[in-house]
Structures are given as structure tokens and as C-alpha cells.
Structure 1
């Protein structure tokens, strides 16, 4: 009942694994829709290159895997059946969430021995973490590998499993620091453990220390480990760490520490067999099923509110903003449609794709008024949207400072000017507004394809406005019957 977005029907049906997995209680054929351009567009997509095999298939190497599993009980089947797991000699896990009352035999894996330590066994009775849930650390190692577990002489209040590979003379420490344990205490106890083992030995330290390696702030754990002589650091972002170590304790890894870059290039296979035609804007309707009741539509708009609180934005969305602003000139140029012998007005251009214009008051606040109309079907929230946009720019001004031109010279001057009532919104303000309303803004302009400004991870989260460059004015755009417009991806110019 009005629940399927683009691709959602396919996704839901494709994930059914058993007859009991889904019940189709009725069928609405008009909820499933497709477009004849899909096959053509898919055929133009570049293939992502497959990564090389991470683990070494050689008796001269030991393959070590680490993962914060966040619940061994609920993720055990996925762990033991994963293709990467089956190539590992050692599987180091943190946050198993197992306590001492659970049967460890329930988590046996063929060909592996299991060592597990619960959180309560790692901390003394009077420690605040002793009675807290979760935590726990585990090691799976192959039956044919000889190891010796190393125990500390005293209770260290440290979640760890330490063992020595007898043949390779290598010590491995699988360690976890809860975010509730102070870094000072953790470092004190870990340093004591390292010195007790003999810090001059070959030691491989692996674990989840809950310290952001990408942050510009102080990183006491990383700093201390470097001061102790612990060498190259590798990390992953919520992923599995994988290493291969040879007999000389040299590491062959896939977890290189990299500098963060706004523009992350994806490796693709750049070979297409034959050139394919460019997809034009289809001159047809892309509307949802009509709302049968105007009152229900009004209720939807009345329930839409604009929050004045701080907007929390993930790094991915900020990265999309940066890429958009960096490539703005190229994107605008790419949006220009070849001139035809037929001259259209903007109203006629929009009518061809079943859209129409709603006029907005022209007082310098027209962009924010148009967004307010898209969200609430009135212009009254324009001040709140501008204010929230400004707050977002203030919180992220270091990231957007490079995009300030000579008009303002500094980001602070720009923010001060943009804060004034009646100030026209440029593309920087537009991209910020897209994020704070959590919508992709599509801008229609005469003779151009719709310009896509990212604000949401979902393509169907769209608001539509039109722009008149000669008047520096924005109007609101809806579908032919006044509902929110939604265009498919092939009709949009992306970053």
C-alpha cells in the first residue's frame, strides 16, 4: 500500500530464502514499475575490479583475521560460513558478548580450537566493568598449529588473549578496550603486560582500541604505542582486518593506512565492448499513484517540521557535498541540452515530464521559501530553514572555506552575509540546505537537465525547484496534480 520505492520490490522478494520467509496476501500490479531505459543504463556502468586474494596460500605464511563481531552467538553462522574465514589460520574476535555460563561447545568450528575470555573474567570484582554486559574476547586457531597461551602474573584489568607461536617465535596479543575504560588505565595495563612479556620480542598487537585514527585530535593510544617501538599501524573502518605473516615475521597486508581524501577513486574496469547511446530526458510521466484524498495529502504536509537543533551529518554526505562543489562547473556544463529547432518555455519543458511550477514570493528568500513549500506546502518556514542552514555551515566551515570566492574572501564573511534576511542563496547554501532537510534537491532550468544536489542517501528523497538565472529567482515545482515530484535516475545529472 504505497510502500515500494525504486528497487524495493525487487530487494524484498530477492531476499526470501524459504517458503516461510514471505507471505503475499494480495497483489497490486501498479505498485511494480520499471523503465525501458534500465537495461541500457546498466550496460553503460563500469565494472568494479575484483580485489586480489588477500590471504597467502603458502605454508610459509600464517593468515590472521581480526573482527569486532558484536555478538558471537547471533553472528556465529555467518562467521563459520564466510569464505574469508575458511582461509584463516587465526581468527581473533572482540565483543563476543558471551558470559561464563554459556556453553563454549556451541561455538566450536571444525578444524579450530577455541579460547575465550569473558569480560567478567578479565576484570577484578571491584572494577566497574566486571559486572557490565557485553565485551569478551576470543581466539580460534587451527588444530595443526602449536601455540602456548601466555598468562599475566597479576590481574591486569585488560581484555586480552596473548599467545606465542612456538615454531615462529612470534607473540600475538588480541586486545580490546571498551569506550568506558579510560585510555590512561588501558595504556598503563597494556604497557605493564608488554614489559612483562619482553617488549624486545616479536610481538603482533591486534585489536579494537576505540580510538579514531583519522581524527585530528590527540590520539594517546597511538602515540604511546609508537613510543614503545610498535611499528607500522594498519586499521579498517568497521571492517575485517586481515594479515599474512611469513616465517621471518614480515607482514603482507591489505589494510594500508591511508590519508583521508575527499575524492576517493574507485578502481574500475574501463573496457566497454561497444559505445552505447546517451540516454536523453524521457518525455513521459514519472509520477506515483495519485493520492485519492486531498485531506490525507494535507495531513502529510502538516506533519512535516523543520528542526532547529544541530544536524548530525555522516562523513559520507559531507564528502558528497565536497565532490559536488568541486565539480560544479563541469556538472552545470554537462546538464546543458543541445538546442533544438523548437523553442520551449520553462513551463513547457516541465510540462513535457509532467511537472508544473508553483510561484514563490521574490524577496531574496525565494530559495528557502521554495524549500519550505516543498516540505510543508507553504512558505512560512523559510526563516527556520535559513537559520538551520547557517548553523550547519558554521559547524562545518573549515570544510567549506575553500569554496569561498573573492566576493566574501573568508568563510566567516560569507556566513555573516548569508545570515541576513533577503540574501540570495548560492550553490554552497543550497547544498547545505539539502543536507539539513535530508532531501536531494533537484533544480530545473530552461534548456538543461535537472541538476541533482545530494542531501539524502535515497534517490527518491527528492524536492524540486526551478531557477531563473536572469532574475536570480527560485520557484517550487510539483507534479501535474500538485503532489511531490519524483524523477528516475536516468533523467538527472549527477555529480
Structure 2
């Protein structure tokens, strides 16, 4: 259970303004590369799974974590659904950044760009407050300040903000017993890509591909490693 201990590292983590923040121009260049191929893969899955019924998405924050026994059952439910739909997971690090890492893998083919994704989501939340504050049951400024921190878990509000910021339709296969599939649309409906995630409910996100198509990611070496 990669992220079962809520905020084990999140509350004391640094924000994305650390020395490790990726250069925005580099990110933009990566996003622009092979854009047609990235879009094709997401739309290919969407077409193949067009028979799935999605529920209306309501942004919300995480309020409670399931008990261990329930979490185990939920994991089995998710695994069964993925097998039924012909999907496989790219395993994402469970360091509290999994939602942003999974989005980064789908958008940039590299989960290490999660800091950039978090930064863009933070900007969206900050500059479009009226779109999101009604879904946040706490002081909004405190909420976005918290979400700015590395290691802080993303929620359904940050997913909506990511969809809006990147112009992406986010398709989520979940372990929810009454909602196996959720589609999150950007508010302006100007779609530029389709993103696929799995969600082991309120515990962990992974990046989704067709079975047999999960890419092999070569970890990016830090300059201080040999």
C-alpha cells in the first residue's frame, strides 16, 4: 500500500520552488514532441472503451482513508476491472506525489516531471479560484498553499484543475464499488489530449496503458549519481 499513511512526508515536504524544479522551456519542448502520437494513444483507448458508462465528476477533497481490510478488497476490485478492460498499470512511485506523477507520465512520458505538473495545477487553482473554491471545505488559501507542497496528495479538485490547465480529458478507472469509470473534462471543452489513470481509491494513482503496451521507462540519472 504505497501511500497508505496519509501525509507521512507531505506536511513537511518542500514546495516545487526547490532547486530541483524543472526548466519550463524544457518541459514545453518535451510536451510538443510527438504530440500526434501521444494524442493518438489516448484516443485509441477512449474509442476501444467507448461502451463504458461514466458518472458525472464532482471535484472533492480527500476526507478519509479506507480501513486496511476495505483497501485490500478495493485493490482486488480495481485489478479485476483493469483485466476486464484490457488495461495495465505503469507503476508510479508512492511518495505522496502519485497523482501528479501519473499525470506527468501520461503527459510527458516521465513521472519525474511531477513537480512541473503540480506547479501548473497550483497556478490553475490560484488564478481561477471561483471555479474550485465551492468544492473545498476549508479556507481556500490554506488549501492551495497545502497543495503547493511536494508530497501532498492530490484529490478530485486537483484532477479537475489539471484537466482545465492542460486541456486534457482525464479518464480514471477506479476501485469505487459504484463508479468504475470517471471522465473529467476541461471546463472549456477544448480537448488537446486524453489521459488515462487508475485510482485505488483514496490510496494511489497509476498510469494506464493497453495490456502489452506499457512502456519501459529508463530512470533519469541525477548528476550526482554514477
**TM-score computed with the length of structure 1 as normaliser:** 0.28
| C-alpha contact 1:347 1:357 (8 A) present in aligned 2 | no
1:404 aligns with 2:133: no
1:370 aligns with 2:99: no
Structure that is richer in helix per residue: 2
1:325 aligns with 2:54: no
Offset of residue 465 of structure 1? 0.7
Q: How many angstroms apart in 2 are the aligned matches of 1:400 and 1:393?
A: 7
SS of 2:88's equivalent in the other structure is strand
User: For the structure 1 residues 355 and 403, does the alpha-carbon distance in structure 2 shift closer, same or farther, using more than 3 Å as the test?
Assistant: same
Q: Deviations over 1:151-202 (max 9, x none)?
A: xxxxxxxxxxxxxxxxxxxxxxxxxxxxxxxxxxxxxxxxxxxxxxxxxxxx
| Correspondence list, 1:95-114, <5 A | none
Match of 2:34 in 1: 300
| C-alpha contact 1:392 1:432 (8 A) present in aligned 2 | yes
Unpaired stretches in structure 2, ≥5 consecutive residues: 1-32, 39-55, 61-74, 216-226
SS of 1:352's equivalent in the other structure is helix
SS of 1:381's equivalent in the other structure is helix
Offset of residue 476 of structure 1? 0.7
Q: How many angstroms apart in 2 are the aligned matches of 1:300 and 1:394?
A: 30
Match of 1:194 in 2: none
Structure that is richer in strand per residue: 1
1:429 aligns with 2:158: yes
| Correspondence list, 1:286-365, <5 A | 300=34, 324-325=57-58, 345-365=77-97
| C-alpha contact 1:444 1:451 (8 A) present in aligned 2 | yes
Q: Deviations over 1:270-303 (max 9, x none)?
A: xxxxxxxxxxxxxxxxxxxxxxxxxxxxx627x9
| C-alpha contact 2:78 2:200 (8 A) present in aligned 1 | no
SS of 1:398's equivalent in the other structure is helix
The runs of 4+ residues in structure 1 deviating greater than 3 Å are: 323-326, 458-461
SS of 2:195's equivalent in the other structure is strand
Offset of residue 324 of structure 1? 4.2
Match of 2:205 in 1: 474
Q: How many angstroms apart in 2 are the aligned matches of 1:462 and 1:417?
A: 27
User: For the structure 1 residues 399 and 463, does the alpha-carbon distance in structure 2 shift closer, same or farther, using more than 3 Å as the test?
Assistant: closer
Unpaired stretches in structure 1, ≥5 consecutive residues: 1-298, 305-322, 329-342, 485-495
SS of 2:118's equivalent in the other structure is helix
Offset of residue 346 of structure 1? 2.2
Match of 1:420 in 2: 149
Q: How many angstroms apart in 1 are the aligned matches of 2:166 and 2:192?
A: 14
Larger radius of gyration: 1
